[in-house]
Amino acid sequence: MKQQFLQSRTDTIRLTAYINNRPIVPDDSVKITLQNPTGGELQAQASATRDATTGEMTYALTTTHTATKGLNFKASWEYTYNGKTYYENNLFDVVLSVLSIPIVDEDLYDELSSLREVAIQEQGTATAGASGTLTDTGRKEADDFWTGGTIEIIAGTGEGQRRDVTDYVQSTGVISVTPNWVTNPSTDSVYVVIRAYTQKIKQCFEKVETMLYNKGQRHSLIIESSQIKFPLIYLIVHFVCLDLTKDPEDKWQVLALKYWELFQSEFNNMAVDYDADESGTIEEEERQRNLTEIRVNRA
């Protein structure tokens, strides 16, 4: 999904470059040029910043850059890597309201408790422990596979402690947790780690954002994150149930169909304010309109 920034607010535009499906760390010479949606210059070429560890490139947007709402502003980046110069563009929008993900795994479990039972989980024994980590060098999952999930020590030193996973590194087998352990794990600590639905939540959030965008003139839509909470829950449960379906008529397929219908009903019946004529103000006829009523031309 394109990056979105609130009108007349400062923010930061970001870009990570990839080569052979891996993020790279460009040389410390990154430049950026900004254009408005009509192609006019919004910011002459200027120096941007890059993170020496992650390679992420960033540039601070001022209120001048975000003064006018609209779709498809363009950021043109120039950077070097291993002595070669690369050029890359990304588009962004300036909008009246920006959405964030309003749910966590517990919201999904509250809706359908059986999802807790089918969440991916693994058991292991620690090879080391510290105040904020548990290490198991036998773990081989990809980086961040367990990030966002939970870990519980079920036997041995520290038994009964349950923590949120904030990071997981494959090469070291280190699982970072919050808050810190009261009793640090040791080599006799048997644990269960449960994967979060983080990626599915993110994917479904982007689907909802895209559906809103496809209604047209996303920059003129006024909506808050709480309004998409239940449509998003229903959409996530729908796709999780689809993933669990083994036979065309098993319970997961039935639940998937049920939650798709719930999602469509909840999404289409959301009441939002929509500056359809782009006058800059919300007229009475533009207030609290169902999404099924919004039919405007794309900007």
Q: What secondary structure, in 3-state letters, does 56-84 show?
A: CEEEEECCCCCCCCEEEEEEEEEEEECCE
* In contact, 153 and 185? CB cutoff 8 Å: yes
Residues 68 and 130 in one domain: no
- Give dist(CA 33, CA 56) in Å, integer: 17
Flag whether 108 is in a domain: no
- Collapsing DSSP to helix, strand or coil, 290 comes out as strand
Residues 220 and 258 in one domain: yes
Flag whether 105 is in a domain: no
Residue 299's pLDDT is 38
Residues 149 and 131 in one domain: yes
Residues 204 and 184 in one domain: no
Flag whether 66 is in a domain: yes
Mean pLDDT by 10 residues, the chain (299 residues): 91 94 92 96 96 95 95 95 94 90 92 90 95 95 91 96 94 96 97 91 93 77 87 96 90 96 91 61 52 47
Residues 189 and 250 in one domain: no
Structure tokens, 298: 């794309």
Give the range of the structural domain holding residue 275, as residue numbers without chain letter. Answer: 198-293
Residue 268's pLDDT is 86
Residue 270's pLDDT is 81
Half-sphere exposure of 236 (CA within 13 A, CB side): 29
Residues 11 and 65 in one domain: yes
Flag whether 13 is in a domain: yes
Residues 29 and 71 in one domain: yes
Residues 68 and 134 in one domain: no
The domain boundary, picked from 62, 95, 128, lies at: 95
Flag whether 298 is in a domain: no
pTM for the complete prediction? 0.73
Q: How many domains does the chain have?
A: 3
In degrees, rounded to 5, the angle at the alpha carbon of residue 280 between the alpha carbons of residues 274 and 283 is 55
- Given the structure tokens 């040029």, which residue do they identify? 33
- Give dist(CA 211, CA 218) in Å, integer: 10
Flag whether 299 is in a domain: no
Q: Say which CATH number the domain at 190 has.
A: 2.40.30
Q: In the chain, which residue ranges form alpha helices assigned H by DSSP?
A: 105-111, 114-118, 198-214, 229-244, 251-268
The domain boundary, picked from 173, 194, 215, lies at: 194
Interacting residues of 44 by C-beta distance below 8 A, sequence separation 6+: 33
